Amino acid sequence: MGRIRRQDRQARGEIQKFFRELEKTSGLGVEMRGEWAGCRRAHVCHDRYRVIWQDLPETEDYAGDADDTVVRVVVLRVGPKVLSSGETIYQQPRPEPE
């Protein structure tokens, strides 16, 4: 995100806006297949950037209502659709969540 902030402040703002929406709404994005199975992706900033994340197991939300759950996510990649090397963000190796 630091690189995006330096290169394109407007894109960073739109990505941050997407993260806020992701906090409020589950099921955003599109499920991925192949090497990225189990992950979801979204196109942001007029289709120029991609956000790829993985849902982690649900946990109970003790601060909310009795039946609320929190779905934690780990963001695996955020970046331009096409990298400077000419490959797409999906051609990058899938990082393991920490």
Global pTM value = 0.79
Confidence of residue 5 (pLDDT cuts 50, 70, 90): low
Asked if 80 and 64 touch (Cβ cutoff 8 Å), the reply is no
pLDDT at 60: 63
Q: Where are the beta strands (DSSP E) in 11-94?
A: 30-31, 39-44, 49-60, 69-80
Q: Give domain limits for the chain.
A: 2-91
Q: How far apart are alpha carbons 49 and 12 in whole angstroms? A: 10
pLDDT at 62: 57
Neighbours of 35 (CB within 10 A): 11
Confidence of residue 63 (pLDDT cuts 50, 70, 90): low
Q: How far apart are alpha carbons 17 and 83 in whole angstroms? A: 22
